[in-house]
Structure 1
């Protein structure tokens, strides 16, 4: 025959475990959302850099080409050589509208410069 412990002694243990585990679960969920947000911002930076490099290779304004494609707060830098153009777009990562300090994603793209076209009569 087994003796039962004091019935009701474990009352509230689930509440205590939930109170300890719920913040940890919320932290993991926030980290997961931050990861997805960072990946999405990285893809936007790559798309914007590609368009900026192609625009600069044609002789157009790269910032205008990348303006609508990059994440909010993105900056565009363009450089290169006589044969090619390199565009880099970087942006801060934000979670729920709050910029994460020191967290920046960037994307770069290279395009060959197009020869200057002659005037068509």
Structure 2
């Protein structure tokens, strides 16, 4: 009797663990994307977007970086796909956006 209950309950526990680990992975990717966006926009506001892109590649590997200037502000958007622990689940899209004022006397993208 106990063996049958364990055989039914154990896969459910493994599935719950996989969902929990996947949620942590998405949360980690979100924080990394936000950190990368912040670093990119800071560097671009200082007039050094190449350094920002290098830092973004280190902080959020595989992310796409879009830096634009809107008036006196620089906007950085990071887009990243996160593949969950269970390979049969679809990838989750994580986006982060940061805005900074352009430093006086600097040219930003």
Range into which the TM-score falls when normalised by the shorter chain: 0.7 to 0.9
Q: Which among 75, 78, 82 is matched to residue 86 of structure 1?
A: 75
Deviation for aligned residue 1:94: 2.3
Instruction: Give the Cα separation in 2 of the matches to 1:98 and 1:91.
Output: 17
TM-score by length of 1: 0.77
SS in 1 for 2:90: strand
The answer on whether the counterparts of 1:93 and 1:100 sit within 8 Å (CA) in structure 2 is no
SS in 1 for 2:83: strand
Q: Which has a greater percent of helix? A: 2
* Counterpart position of 2:102: 113
* Counterpart position of 1:44: 32
State the structure with more CA Rg.
Answer: 1
Regions of 4+ moved over 4 Å: 96-100
Residue correspondences, number: 104
TM-score by length of 2: 0.84
Structure having greater relative contact order (Cα 8 Å, sep ≥ 6): 2
The answer for unaligned runs of 5 or more in structure 2 is none
Instruction: Give the Cα separation in 2 of the matches to 1:92 and 1:29.
Output: 21
The answer on whether the counterparts of 2:84 and 2:90 sit within 8 Å (CA) in structure 1 is no
Let me know the Cα RMSD of the aligned residues.
2.0
